[in-house]
């Protein structure tokens, strides 16, 4: 093989291997094998368009002190769970079974909800007493309008998940009494549990012996492709190994599979062994079909399985058994830590806001200004960004004290400041709740005169200082800085330096661009669109911590803008925790 083309082939082989292992070229794959495994799964999910955090949650419900509506016996309660849509409509997600004769029912049926970090997910629970005449009707067929209403409760899914115990008790209220409630309130308890499937990963090491030689002048260059049988059509590839060069008895690097992708341990998996060809037409050496359970058995019995190749003899299909065998050298099942494990363990996401007060926003008294406060109450672009990001993040911050700054303005008789406290206080940038940010923002508009230029460096450095101080106190915290801006930054290099430095800290930066300016430079900061950020001193960002979105059309009620902004946050959080091997508390 000539020297000149070996580089290309190497690249191709990397690409083949890359499907499953992901992290080999990205450098910071981290210390432990476990990290590699997690990265591989993230990579896998991303490649399937599941970049954000989606996790299956099972809700279990119980109630106490339900009202007794039956004359001769106690109530026969059933709970129905609804998702409340943006327009206020209720959409049923599921219902429990009917528990007979109980005022303190513990329902067994679990309600499955798909948790999405970047979306606020309001849930409504309604409890009904099922009349005995319906007791033979399946729960799904029951019409709730025909049943006695016992009460209703609502909460956000994130409220339950951020609780230490992952359970939340809610008062059941009845609407028909117009607010007058009996002294002893009925209570509904919601417990949330992450489905085990999304947390289980399986690590295997495969070895083959006596593979057939497919190459003319050298030995075969084998790799494995693992696919899952699909309900319809061709099998879905899940994972590939790297290519072993010139090796008829290869052992590959560990292969990592996620239980969610496989379905169950009994699902058959197709493992195909190919000979790598730089043309991209890899020849099939042989295949086996085995479920995970069978693979585990092979491992325990130290047995090999012979490969076969499907052949056509006349009109008959039959499998030709080959001499080559596959062995499972290692089979290891483990649970990975998820974002929600950290959150339930007490790790907090601390929200911080910085608002652009530069003159390019326009005079706040005029309706065409981006800072114009509409007397009708319709939020301006800044208010909308704060509200939409804030309403998702606030529940991950238990004390709800949010630092809020402004930049690019001249506070009363002072020089231009590139980081002033929004509440006008001298020492404490923190305000209380999202409402606190909103009122501090409006009062700041009256107290400062808009100026320039647009500098991000001071705000990012101030946020980074807070993040690094939390490390000194050994708290498990992660910080999220939201910067809302209308224009092009003037201190690109200083901002880059600040971001590079902050990439080593538990901090992510979300930037929302408002107005019609050209935001090309922001894209540079958002490293997933280009190269890794490099500071003026040659230090390089260790991970991507900046996420940018332009909020172009202020007047449309598009919610996906904020969703795309928040979607990467759990991933950035996990990359921080995993590279440092930080375990969830509790």
Query: Which residues form the interface with other proteins (CB under 8 A)?
Result: 7, 10, 24-25, 27-31, 405, 411-412, 414-415, 417-421, 424-427, 447-448, 457-458, 461-462, 464-465, 468-469, 471-472, 501, 504, 532, 534, 537-543, 579-580
Is 280 in a helix, a strand, or coil? Answer: coil
Is 260 in a helix, a strand, or coil? Answer: helix
Q: Which is nearer to other proteins, 391 or 491 (CB)?
A: 491
Give CA separation, 500 vs 31, 166, 545, in Å.
21, 36, 9
Q: How far is the CB of 343 from other proteins (least distance, A)?
A: 22
Q: Which is nearer to other proteins, 55 or 503 (CB)?
A: 503
Cβ atoms 100, 63 nearer than 8 A: no
Q: Which is nearer to other proteins, 25 or 586 (CB)?
A: 25
Place of tokens 């190749």: 309
Q: How far is the CB of 542 from other proteins (least distance, A)?
A: 5
Q: How far is the CB of 22 from other proteins (least distance, A)?
A: 14
The pair phi, psi for residue 430, each rounded to 5°, is -80, 140
Cβ atoms 249, 258 nearer than 8 A: no
Q: How far is the CB of 7 from other proteins (least distance, A)?
A: 6
Q: Which is nearer to other proteins, 30 or 151 (CB)?
A: 30
Q: How far is the CB of 380 from other proteins (least distance, A)?
A: 22
Q: How far is the CB of 473 from other proteins (least distance, A)?
A: 9
Planar angle of CA 287, 293, 296, nearest 5 degrees:
80
Place of tokens 């070229």: 25
The pair phi, psi for residue 574, each rounded to 5°, is -65, -35
Q: Which is nearer to other proteins, 128 or 576 (CB)?
A: 576
Q: How far is the CB of 534 from other proteins (least distance, A)?
A: 6
Q: How far is the CB of 476 from other proteins (least distance, A)?
A: 13
Q: Which is nearer to other proteins, 409 or 569 (CB)?
A: 409
The pair phi, psi for residue 475, each rounded to 5°, is -90, 150
Q: How far is the CB of 423 from other proteins (least distance, A)?
A: 9
Lookup: tokens for 407 = 């930049």
Q: How far is the CB of 420 from other proteins (least distance, A)?
A: 5
Cβ atoms 81, 160 nearer than 8 A: no
Q: How far is the CB of 446 from other proteins (least distance, A)?
A: 12
Q: What is the 3-state secondary structure (H, E, C) of 376-428?
A: CCCCCHHHHHHHHHHHHHHHHCCCCEEEEEEECEEECCCCCECCEECCCCCCC
Q: Which is nearer to other proteins, 147 or 508 (CB)?
A: 508
Q: Which is nearer to other proteins, 63 or 500 (CB)?
A: 500
Q: How far is the CB of 216 from other proteins (least distance, A)?
A: 25
Q: Which is nearer to other proteins, 355 or 381 (CB)?
A: 355
Q: Which is nearer to other proteins, 277 or 461 (CB)?
A: 461
- Nearest Cα neighbor of 371 from 352, 356, 386 is 356
Q: What is the 3-state secondary structure (H, E, C) of 287-343?
A: EEEEEHHHHHHHHHCCCCEEEEEEEEECCEEEEEEEEEEEEEEEEEEEECCCHHHHH
Number of neighbouring beta carbons within 10 Å of residue 121: 19
Cα–Cα distance measured from residue 550 to residue 9, given in angstroms and rounded to the nearest whole number: 40
Cβ atoms 306, 321 nearer than 8 A: yes
Is 499 in a helix, a strand, or coil? Answer: helix
- In the sheet where 90-95 sits, what is the strand order? 90-95, 77-84, 122-129, 148-156
- Nearest Cα neighbor of 32 from 515, 579, 453, 586 is 579
Q: Which is nearer to other proteins, 382 or 405 (CB)?
A: 405
Q: How far is the CB of 259 from other proteins (least distance, A)?
A: 27
Q: Which is nearer to other proteins, 210 or 534 (CB)?
A: 534
Q: Which is nearer to other proteins, 142 or 419 (CB)?
A: 419
* C-alpha 507: how far from chain center: 16
* C-alpha 548: how far from chain center: 17
Q: Which is nearer to other proteins, 133 or 537 (CB)?
A: 537
Cα–Cα distance measured from residue 565 to residue 391, given in angstroms and rounded to the nearest whole number: 13
* C-alpha 295: how far from chain center: 31
Task: Outline where 128-249 has alpha helix (H).
Answer: 157-161
* 325 contacts: CB under 8 Å, gap ≥ 6: 208, 209, 210, 304, 305, 306, 307
Q: How far is the CB of 427 from other proteins (least distance, A)?
A: 5
Q: Do β-strands 348-356 and 401-407 pair in parallel, antiparallel, or remain unpaired?
A: parallel
Cα–Cα distance measured from residue 585 to residue 346, given in angstroms and rounded to the nearest whole number: 6
Q: Which is nearer to other proteins, 399 or 534 (CB)?
A: 534
Q: How far is the CB of 378 from other proteins (least distance, A)?
A: 28
């Amino acid at each position: 093989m000539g020297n000149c083309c070996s580089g290309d082939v190497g690249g191709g082989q990397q690409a083949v291997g890359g499907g499953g292992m992901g992290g080999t070229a990205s450098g910071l794959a981290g210390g432990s094998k476990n990290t590699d495994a997690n990265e591989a799964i993230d990579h896998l999910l991303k490649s399937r368009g599941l970049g954000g955090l989606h996790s299956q949650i099972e809700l279990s419900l119980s109630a106490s002190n339900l009202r007794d509506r039956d004359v001769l016996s106690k109530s026969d309660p059933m709970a129905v769970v609804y998702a409340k849509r943006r327009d206020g409509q209720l959409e049923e997600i599921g219902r429990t079974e009917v528990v007979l004769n109980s005022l303190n029912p513990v329902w067994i049926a679990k309600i499955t909800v798909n948790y999405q970090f970047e979306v606020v997910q309001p849930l409504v629970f309604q409890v009904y007493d099922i009349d005995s005449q319906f007791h033979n009707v399946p729960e799904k067929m029951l019409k709730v309008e025909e049943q006695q209403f016992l009460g209703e409760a609502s909460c956000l899914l994130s409220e339950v998940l951020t609780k230490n115990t992952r359970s939340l008790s809610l008062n059941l209220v009845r609407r028909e009494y117009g607010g007058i409630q009996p002294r002893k309130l009925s209570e509904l308890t919601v417990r949330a549990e992450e489905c085990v499937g999304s947390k289980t990963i399986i690590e295997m090491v495969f070895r083959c012996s006596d593979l057939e030689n497919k190459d003319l002048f050298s030995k075969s260059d084998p790799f494995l492709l693992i696919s899952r049988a699909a309900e319809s059509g061709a099998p879905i590839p899940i994972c590939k190994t790297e290519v072993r060069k010139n090796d008829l008895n290869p052992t590959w690097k560990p292969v990592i599979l996620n239980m969610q992708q496989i379905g169950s341990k009994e699902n058959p998996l197709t493992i195909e062994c190919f000979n790598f060809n730089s043309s991209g037409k890899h020849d099939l050496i042989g295949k086996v079909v085995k479920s995970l359970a069978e693979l585990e058995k092979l491992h325990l019995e130290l047995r090999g399985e012979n490969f076969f190749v499907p052949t056509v003899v006349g009109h008959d299909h039959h499998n030709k058994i080959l001499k080559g065998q596959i062995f499972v050298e290692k089979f290891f099942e483990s649970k990975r830590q998820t974002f929600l494990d950290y959150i339930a363990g007490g790790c907090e996401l601390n929200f911080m806001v910085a608002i652009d007060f530069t003159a390019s926003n326009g005079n706040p008294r005029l309706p065409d200004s981006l800072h114009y406060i509409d007397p009708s109450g319709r939020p301006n672009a800044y208010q909308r960004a704060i509200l939409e990001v804030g309403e998702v993040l606030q529940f991950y911050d238990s004390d709800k004290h949010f630092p809020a700054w402004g930049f690019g303005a001249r506070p009363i008789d002072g020089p231009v400041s590139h980081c002033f406290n929004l509440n006008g206080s001298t020492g404490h940038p923190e305000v209380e709740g999202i409402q606190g940010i909103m009122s501090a923002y409006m009062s700041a508009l009256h107290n400062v005169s808009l100026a320039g230029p647009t500098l991000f460096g001071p705000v990012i450095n101030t946020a980074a200082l807070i993040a690094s101080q939390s490390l000194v106190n050994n708290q498990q915290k992660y910080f999220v800085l939201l910067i809302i801006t209308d224009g092009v930054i003037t201190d690109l290099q200083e901002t880059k330096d600040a971001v590079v430095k902050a990439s080593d800290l538990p901090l992510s930066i979300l930037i929302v661009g408002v107005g019609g300016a050209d935001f090309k430079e922001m894209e540079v900061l958002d490293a997933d669109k280009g190269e890794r950020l490099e500071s003026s001193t040659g230090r390089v960002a260790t991970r991507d911590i900046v996420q940018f979105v332009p909020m172009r059309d202020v007047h449309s009620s598009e919610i996906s803008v904020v969703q795309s902004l928040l979607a990467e946050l759990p991933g950035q959080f996990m990359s921080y925790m995993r590279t440092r091997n930080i375990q969830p508390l509790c």
